[in-house]
């Protein structure tokens, strides 16, 4: 009678374990033995071997191993077409949860010792003299109350402890219950209760995601009867990087964390702080890990400068961001010593258990890092170039990877594919020319101001220096008091044309700018300053993250006879300044070329000033004589009439 109860209990345990392995849904377990048909067209049939397939369809090269725990005769219902109580030779088996076990024995002495060692400290264990059947009954009772939920086995649960102990075995071999498979297919295994784990992950990254593989959580299965078809119980983490354009970040009422405007490409001004976001997932079998290493590595290009202390780390569950205390992770500031690389790491070592030290993390949690960086004087203008000079993704890119624990029972790590975002900047080349000869004019002074809503009126710095108590870099927006007169503008916002008539401003953001000529060229006022004008940089980006020659342009606020987009050919008299172009001449490089013409003031020379004065006097005298003569003539005529 005791044997029958133990068989029944082990059947329940096996059914629970199968449920953990293949879906977490328990169904009634059949406890009938092979004593004749128990349902129409089915008859319990005993088996001594079985087949297992672990379907690893994502990572070629990942291998698995199977370790048998208990040997047993496995009984399962098989189709009986004619109802004579004899199963059809090729009849279909019923569902896996209807398997039952009998004649239970330990698979090997090594396995027996390892499993017993897991529960050695438990005063309620069956003891050394107990049979395999007794131990199966004991394990069934523990598992029934402490099993992991769903597909995954919880860390430190009974099943997890058994798996850890068995994975450490080195003395078992194929003849004694240890089977390796390079493709996850196991044929004619000895019937009974088995553990399947990852033997080795693929060295080849997935062709779609680029991520390397992770180890599966333990798979426990009853082998015998119907073939076992399982999928690895794992979920390889992913990482995503995004950038928030300054125009979107500065808009009224924007919440940086919940904004829907995060994307792969943005553009910004030299010196302007830009928001970045790193989002990583954790393994779907996270519950199986008792420690979990997790590390973001973000390499910034030389044109980007990390804003010190700006990194903030959150656990995102659903739509709720929960700050993670800084004592749980380590931040490495990017600088010249580490190739301008930012790292945010949850370490696993003698004192740290990585993410497992943070409460509230589960397999649905995302780890999010926010930080800020700004373009500096090394910023690339327009597209970055590859070795052949062709445009590549990102004017000023930064690239993140995520390294994560990939083995629940060891300290191995996997790595995600790189994810890159880009921050673009632009340059204005403005040429001051004589409108008649089209030759460059030296000494014209201009200011450039932002005409965008969020930065309206701020001046673009022309040179590096100190202003307002802080260091200014060329191209940076400077906030000069609005009541400052032209004469009192600081030199750092004045652009003066060189001997070729050129001024240059690098590191401009996309958007609108107002250009004002505050001093005409020349020392004796022979030129008149051009009226102020506004131009707009409107970039578009291709799907691969590069800027296409046909998709970036600048526009002027209105047609002008003295301002033109592009460059003139310096042919005197061709009057090209009345042509208003529709694009810059080399937009693929992120450069906007504008030509501004000046007209000379015409001043005829006035020589012989005394002669001129005499002429005025003589003319006046003649005018007076003429008027007097006219009056006398009128009086004489009037007298005659009388």
In contact, 460 and 509? CB cutoff 8 Å = no
Residue 69 has pLDDT above 50, yes or no: yes
Q: How far, in Å, CA of 246 to CA of 452, rounded?
A: 11
| Length of the chain in terms of residues written | 642
Q: In the structure, what pLDDT confidence band is assigned to residue 609 with cuts at 50, 70 and 90?
A: very low
Per-residue model confidence as pLDDT tens digits over 255-307:
999 999 999 999 999 999 999 999 999 988 898 899 999 999 999 999 999 99
Q: If residue 630 lies in a helix (H) or strand (E), which one and from where to where?
A: helix 609-641
Residue 533 has pLDDT above 70, yes or no: yes
Measured from the Cβ of residue 515, the count of other Cβ atoms closer than 10 Å reads 24
Tell me, what's the pLDDT at 371? Answer: 97
Q: How far, in Å, CA of 576 to CA of 345, rounded?
A: 60
Percent of the chain with pLDDT over 90: 43
Tell me which range, 241-250, 392-401, 624-633, is most confidently predicted by mean pLDDT.
Answer: 241-250
Q: Domain ranges for the chain, please list them.
A: 2-230, 239-423, 426-598
Q: How far, in Å, CA of 296 to CA of 415, rounded?
A: 10
DSSP 8-state assignment for residue 275: E
Q: In the structure, what pLDDT confidence band is assigned to residue 10 with cuts at 50, 70 and 90?
A: very low
Exposure string over 368-393, b if 16+ CB within 10 A, otherwise e: bbbbbbbbbbebbbbbbeeeeeebbb
Per-residue model confidence as pLDDT tens digits over 304-328:
999 999 999 999 999 999 999 999 9
Alpha helices (runs of H) in 29-118, residue ranges in sequence order = 109-118
In DSSP terms, 193 is beta-bridged to 70, 222
Contacts 24+ apart (CB under 8 A), 329-338: 333/306, 333/308, 334/298, 334/299, 334/300, 334/306
CATH class as words, domain 239-423:
mainly beta
Show Cβ contacts of residue 58 under 8 Å, excluding neighbours closer than 6 positions: 206, 213, 236
Q: How many CA atoms lie within 13 A of 410 on its CB side?
A: 15
Tell me, what's the pLDDT at 86? Answer: 86
Tell me, what's the pLDDT at 638? Answer: 55
Indicate the SS3 state at residue 157. coil
Q: How far, in Å, CA of 93 to CA of 97, rounded?
A: 11
What string of H, E and C letters represents the secondary structure of 13-41?
HHHHHHHHHHCCCCCCCCCCCCCCCCECC
Question: Phi first, then psi: what are they for 622, rounded to 5°?
Answer: -60, -40
Per-residue model confidence as pLDDT tens digits over 419-477:
889 999 999 999 999 888 888 999 999 999 999 988 999 999 999 888 877 888 999 99
From 125-134, 215-224, 572-581, the region with the lowest mean pLDDT: 572-581
Residue 581 has pLDDT above 50, yes or no: no
Reported pTM: 0.76
CATH code for the structural domain at 426-598: 2.60.40.10
Counting DSSP H helices and E strands in the chain, the numbers are 6, 37
Strands laid side by side in the 502-508 sheet:
502-508, 426-434, 591-598, 563-565
Q: How far, in Å, CA of 324 to CA of 338, rounded?
A: 25
Tell me, what's the pLDDT at 23? Answer: 30
* Token pair of 48 as six digits: 């001594």
From 87-91, 410-414, 544-548, the region with the lowest mean pLDDT: 544-548
In contact, 32 and 100? CB cutoff 8 Å = yes
Q: In the structure, what pLDDT confidence band is assigned to residue 488 with cuts at 50, 70 and 90?
A: very high
Listing DSSP states for 389-431 in one string gives S-EES-SSEEEEEEEEE--TTS--EEEPPPEEEEEE-EEEEEE
Measured from the Cβ of residue 215, the count of other Cβ atoms closer than 10 Å reads 28
């Amino acid at each position: 009678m005791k044997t029958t109860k133990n068989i029944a209990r082990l059947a329940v345990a096996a059914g629970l374990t199968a449920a953990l392995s293949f879906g977490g849904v328990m169904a009634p377990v059949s406890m009938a033995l092979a004593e004749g048909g128990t349902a129409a067209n089915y008859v319990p049939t005993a088996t001594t071997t079985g087949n297992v397939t672990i379907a690893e369809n994502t990572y070629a090269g990942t291998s698995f191993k199977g370790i048998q725990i208990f040997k047993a005769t496995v009984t399962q219902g098989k189709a009986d077409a004619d109802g004579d109580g004899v199963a059809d030779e090729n009849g279909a088996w019923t569902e896996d949860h209807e398997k039952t076990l009998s004649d239970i024995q330990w698979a090997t002495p090594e396995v027996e010792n390892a499993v017993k060692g897991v529960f050695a400290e438990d005063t309620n264990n069956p003891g050394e003299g107990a049979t395999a059947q007794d131990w199966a009954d004991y394990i069934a009772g523990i598992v029934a109350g402490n099993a992991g939920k769903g597909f995954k086995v919880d860390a430190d649960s009974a099943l997890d402890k058994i798996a850890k102990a068995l994975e450490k075995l080195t003395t078992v071999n194929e003849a004694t219950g240890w089977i390796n498979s390079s493709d996850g297919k196991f044929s004619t295994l000895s019937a009974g209760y088995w553990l399947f784990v990852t033997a080795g992950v693929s060295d080849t990254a997935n062709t779609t995601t680029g991520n390397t593989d992770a180890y599966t959580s333990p798979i426990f299965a009853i082998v015998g009867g119907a073939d076992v078809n399982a999928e690895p119980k794992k979920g390889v983490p992913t990482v995503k990087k995004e950038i928030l354009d300054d125009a979107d970040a500065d808009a009224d009422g924007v919440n940086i964390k919940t904004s829907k405007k995060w994307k792969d490409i943005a553009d910004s001004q030299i010196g302007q702080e830009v928001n970045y976001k790193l989002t990583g997932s954790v393994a779907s079998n996270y519950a199986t890990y008792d420690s979990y290493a997790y590390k973001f590595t973000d390499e910034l290009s030389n044109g980007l400068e990390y804003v010190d202390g700006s990194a903030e780390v959150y656990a995102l569950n659903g739509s709720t961001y929960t700050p993670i205390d800084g004592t749980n992770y380590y931040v490495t500031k990017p600088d010249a010593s580490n190739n301008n690389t930012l790292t945010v790491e949850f370490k696993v070592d003698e004192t740290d258990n990585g993410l497992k030290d943070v409460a509230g993390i589960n397999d649905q949690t995302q780890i999010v890092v926010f930080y800020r960086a700004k373009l500096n004087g090394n910023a690339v203008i327009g597209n970055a170039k590859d070795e052949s000079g062709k445009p590549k993704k990102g004017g000023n890119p930064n690239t993140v990877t995520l390294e994560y624990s990939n083995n629940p029972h060891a300290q191995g790590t996997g790595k995600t594919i790189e994810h890159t975002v880009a921050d673009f900047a632009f340059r204005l080349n403005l040429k001051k020319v004589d409108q008649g000869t089209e030759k460059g004019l030296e000494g014209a002074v201009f200011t450039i101001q932002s005409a965008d809503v969020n930065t309206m009126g701020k001046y673009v710095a022309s040179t590096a220096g100190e202003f307002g108590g802080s260091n200014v870099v060329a191209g940076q927006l400077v906030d000069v008091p609005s009541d400052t007169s032209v004469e009192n503008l600081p030199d750092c916002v004045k652009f003066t044309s060189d001997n070729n008539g050129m001024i240059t401003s690098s590191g401009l953001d996309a958007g609108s700018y107002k250009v004002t000529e505050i001093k005409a060229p020349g020392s004796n006022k022979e030129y008149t300053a051009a009226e102020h004008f506004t131009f707009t940089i409107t970039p578009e980006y291709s799907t691969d993250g590069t800027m296409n020659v046909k998709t970036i342009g600048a526009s002027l606020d209105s047609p002008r006879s003295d301002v033109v987009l592009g460059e003139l050919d310096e042919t005197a008299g061709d009057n090209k300044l009345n042509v208003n172009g529709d694009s810059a001449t080399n937009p693929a490089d992120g450069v906007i070329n504008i030509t501004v013409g000046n007209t000379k003031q015409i001043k005829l020379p006035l020589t012989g000033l005394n002669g001129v004065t005499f002429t005025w006097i003589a003319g006046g005298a003649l005018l007076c004589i003429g008027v007097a003569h006219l009056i006398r003539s009128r009086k004489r005529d009037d007298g005659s009439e009388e």
